[in-house]
Amino acid sequence: METEIDYQTLADEARQELLLSPTPGNAGTIVTGWKSVFRDEKYEVGVSLFTVSGLLFLSHDWLSQNGAARQDTMTWFMGHYALALVFGTVIFFNGGYAYYVRHDRRQQASVWVSLVLWWLSAFALNRQMAVFEQSVPWLSWVIVGSGLLMVLHTWADILPRWGQQLLYAGLTGTWLLVVYQAVYVAQLYPISVPGLLVLGISIHTFIPALMAWVVGRQLWVAARQRPYLRHAVVAGLLVPLNLLVIFLLNWHHTVAKLNQVQRTAALRQTNDLPDWVQMAQQLHPGPVTDRILKTNIVYGTTPWTRSFGDLTVLDDVRLHDPLVVIAHNLFPVPVLDGPSGAKLLRTVSKEHYGTETKLWSGRNLTTTQVATQVKIWPQYRLGYTEKTLWVQSAAQWGNREVLYTFHLPEGSAVSALSLWIDGREAPARLTTQTKADSAYKTIVGVESRDPSVVTWQEGNRVTVRVFPVMPGKVRQVKIGITSPLQLIDSQLVYRNPWFEGPDASKATETVNLSFDTEPTALTMRGLSGEVMNRTLTRERDYQPDWSLEFTPPPLSPEPFRLDGKAYQVGAYRSAIHPFWPTDLYLDVNESWTADEFSAICETVDSQHTIRLWVVNDGLLKVTPTNRDSLFAELVKKPFSLFPIDRINSPATALLITKGADGPTLADLNGSLMADRLAKKSVSLLAPINAVNLGVVLPPYLKTLTELGVLHMVTTNLTQLRDTYLTRQQFPTNTAAPDEVSLPNSGMVIRQLNTGQQADNQRVLVSNKPQTASLAPDHLLRLFTYNQLMQRVGRRYFDKAYRNDSTLAAVAQKGHVVSPVSSLVVLETQQDYDRFDIKKDQNGLDNATLKQDGAVPEPHEWAMLVVVALLVGWFYAKR
């Protein structure tokens, strides 16, 4: 029996296939190959214009990111606008849009290309009039992919079935994107309608809505007429929406934690810590947490989002992330005042650089070149690093302020600063931090002229500020850093200071490395090449992370001499003395392990004379019955902030800590904990003994150690139990008043009077000939910096120390940046006179690699004067 053929059904299916075809040609034509679509001249012109517009867009970005001269974004936009307008006009007058509305698919491909051209033009305009802030990386790729999918849709008919399914799944994602954009800019529609009468530029506001209607209509028709595409469309909807739901759940969970801390603040038994610290202890770094803390700071949430109040580095980059916009509108982030929000962000996301305040914007700045010069004195276990930076502005208008944060090796001090003014290197002068800040803020904030300043920060950091960088111009700045080498596993280690600042990812770097004596068993990490004649020079792309290791030679007894004093290195030796602790304070956080906590508890149980304490909303005694529950609660916190002021018997107390995160001591200014800590520190007769079971110290405890509030020893659990607790012995600081200890370098630096007979650990300086010193002046610089930290000590909590003339004189002698002193470059001598910044004639000057910086003794000055007079006399006689 023959099967009856339904010719009408076949004809209907063929007609539907033809209607779905994106063929740009005449009715009845189909896409038989990728070249066939170009038979339509309009489509061929459209693809050509799309290619030109895309190349223009990429060229602008490439020129901007590679430090080219400033780009006139409005001129570039007019190029995109002209291409979109011309092609759109051609399509309009050829009836393309009208046919499309009447469901005539012959013009579909050209219309889609026209829409993509308008979309590119809208993003070009966005550079000049930022409705959407700079897209986050994942969004940029989605936008590029969406535009390409709309063009690729032209060839849908020649793709296999699975290819069509992938295409339509991607187009569904495109539809979600343009729907989001249309909703986001909806509040601009009322002002965009009248704007159509002015050059028609505001038509870009309506492009996402038009694209949403066009793409959505095509998805509806395709899913209805081709059943095998329905699953693709559903998948294209579900995958992005499921990812959004996962993000929203994480967002809601984190925001709920913050809200809970604010609600329960009044219920806490102690109020030592501000709310932002309590919030920070509930959060862990991550992409969701980072976005929450940067909402309305980095991430815009409406077309009107702008920063008000003090500028920060984070204001230099504004980002748009649809996930943040949607999440914030559904679950708003708790509002914190500006300083508290910045401190919370610094603590959780470690955004110290990003939260630095500025007077001017730093947008469109790029670090284009870096020159690193290093000289190392192995026999003195120190090195000097000069970094010269070239920073360029790609801004179209307005001066920019540069801010760099340098991360220094432990114990380092900044000893030089220079700024190039009108092509001439202008070295800095050392003055008090108060005067330097006043001069910089006055000149930059009011007069908008040339200064530069470097300021000490907690945590081995300094900030360098430079103003101005004019549009399309380059500024050059140089900083000099004196660093002790670290003694690690019987090897001396030099670590390169690295910086945060204007993007240096595409910068070139010249590295020049030299040794005063030949290094033994040299190992270079992150730096390649061969050291010849104690020198190495390399040209390469900028790389911040590199270090050197070599075998330490014997310490040199040769001192550096200045102003009747000699500065000499010697070996560091620690002494063990009896110590009977009565109270152990455990600073527990997530860095601790259960084995460490249990081992200490068991050791204390065996002693019977030691009490064990932890902090959890107050000081709590640890007992066998509560220890497990206390540890389970405390180990949830990402960091701890032990209240030193609650230690009752400092002389017999031992603080045991572990961890690397947390706020700085400066972040706590103004809190009740800081006030109590200041009073406690002043009343201490000696530093409180402390043990660090980790690799590095958290910033808070590190600063307290530098200031002499804590005597910190880094060790392991075995030595803590066997020596410090069981044998009741503890290392003590054996440094004399005229010495500074650098235990991490395995040495001390001593100050001796010229002619002084030293003990058996020192040399007889008086028998040395009084000639220019062979030792580097950096011995005095390191001695001065560490001596300043000791003298500031517990006065750090009393800001009056900044105006102490005695401390300022010490800083001047060694010419180093410290909590007391800053280096500043001003434009004219009149500026220095106006702010009473004088050049010191007795101490050292800016460190330099051109000479060692040794200053002659008084008798040497006299000899130089005599020689000068003799030369003058012979010249006059002749």
The pLDDT, as a whole number, for residue 616 is 86
User: Which pLDDT band, with edges at 50, 70 and 90, does 775 fall under?
Assistant: confident
Of 416 and 695, more confident: 416
Phi, psi of 404 (to 5 degrees): -115, 140
Kindly state the average pLDDT of the residues 806-818: 90
For 845, other C-beta atoms within 10 Å of its C-beta total: 18
Strand order in the sheet with 739-742: 560-562, 565-571, 747-753, 739-742
Could you tell me the pTM of the whole model?
Answer: 0.81
pLDDT for 202-219, tens place per residue? 888 898 999 999 899 889
pLDDT for 359-373, tens place per residue? 888 888 999 999 999
> Is residue 18's pLDDT more than 50?
no
Of 33 and 453, more confident: 453
Of the ranges 15-19, 370-374, 846-850, the best mean pLDDT one:
370-374
The pLDDT, as a whole number, for residue 771 is 39
The pLDDT, as a whole number, for residue 828 is 87
> Is residue 852's pLDDT more than 70?
no
The pLDDT, as a whole number, for residue 855 is 46
User: Which pLDDT band, with edges at 50, 70 and 90, does 324 fall under?
Assistant: very high
Kindly state the average pLDDT of the residues 847-857: 59
Of 753 and 326, more confident: 326
CA atoms within 13 A on the CB side of 549: 8
Kindly state the average pLDDT of the residues 836-856: 72
> Is residue 161's pLDDT more than 50?
yes
> Is residue 179's pLDDT more than 80?
yes
Find out whether 690 and 715 touch, Cβ atoms under 8 Å: no
> Is residue 547's pLDDT more than 80?
yes
> Is residue 788's pLDDT more than 50?
yes
pLDDT over 70 for what percent of the chain?
A: 85
Q: Is 840 exposed, middle or buried (0-12, 13-18, 19+ CB in 10 A)?
A: middle
The pLDDT, as a whole number, for residue 69 is 46
The pLDDT, as a whole number, for residue 876 is 57
Find out whether 816 and 482 touch, Cβ atoms under 8 Å: yes
The pLDDT, as a whole number, for residue 102 is 46
User: Which pLDDT band, with edges at 50, 70 and 90, does 306 fall under?
Assistant: low
Q: Which helix (H) or strand (E) holds 522?
A: strand 520-525
> Is residue 170's pLDDT more than 90?
yes
The pLDDT, as a whole number, for residue 800 is 73
Tell me the C-alpha distance between 539 and 537, whole Å.
7
Residue 498 Cα to chain centre, angstroms? 11
DSSP, collapsed to helix, strand or coil, labels residue 389 as: strand
> Is residue 160's pLDDT more than 60?
yes
The secondary structure of the chain in percent helix, strand, coil, rounded to multiples of 5, reads 45, 20, 35
User: Which pLDDT band, with edges at 50, 70 and 90, does 2 fall under?
Assistant: very low
Residue 747 Cα to chain centre, angstroms? 33
The pLDDT, as a whole number, for residue 36 is 59
The pLDDT, as a whole number, for residue 861 is 43
Provide the token pair at 509. 């770097």
The pLDDT, as a whole number, for residue 40 is 67
> Is residue 797's pLDDT more than 60?
yes
Kindly state the average pLDDT of the residues 502-523: 92
The pLDDT, as a whole number, for residue 33 is 56
Residue written as token pair 């069509």: 164
The pLDDT, as a whole number, for residue 460 is 86
For 242, other C-beta atoms within 10 Å of its C-beta total: 10
The pLDDT, as a whole number, for residue 273 is 79
pLDDT for 418-476, tens place per residue? 999 988 999 999 999 989 999 998 888 777 778 899 999 988 899 999 999 988 889 99
Strand order in the sheet with 653-657: 619-621, 611-615, 583-587, 653-657, 688-692, 710-714
DSSP 458-506: TTTEEEEEEEEE-TT-EEEEEEEEEEEPEEETTEEEEE--EEESSB-TT
> Is residue 484's pLDDT more than 90?
yes
> Is residue 21's pLDDT more than 90?
no
> Is residue 125's pLDDT more than 60?
yes
The pLDDT, as a whole number, for residue 113 is 86
User: Which pLDDT band, with edges at 50, 70 and 90, does 790 fall under?
Assistant: confident
Tell me the C-alpha distance between 166 and 162, whole Å.
6
Distances (CA, A) of 722 to 345, 597, 725: 40, 15, 6
Kindly state the average pLDDT of the residues 824-831: 90
Q: CA 185, 187, 188 angle in degrees (round to 5)?
A: 70
pLDDT for 857-878, tens place per residue? 444 444 445 445 544 544 455 5
Tell me the C-alpha distance between 663 and 647, whole Å.
20
Kindly state the average pLDDT of the residues 161-165: 91
Tell me the C-alpha distance between 91 and 112, whole Å.
11
Kindly state the average pLDDT of the residues 282-308: 80
Tell me the C-alpha distance between 205 and 210, whole Å.
10
> Is residue 96's pLDDT more than 90?
no
Kindly state the average pLDDT of the residues 595-610: 87
> Is residue 107's pLDDT more than 70?
no
Q: CA 417, 419, 421 angle in degrees (round to 5)?
A: 155
The pLDDT, as a whole number, for residue 780 is 93
Structural domains of the chain in order of their starting residue, each with its CATH number: 14-225 (no CATH), 245-350 (no CATH), 575-733 (3.40.50)
Mean pLDDT computed over every residue of the chain? 82
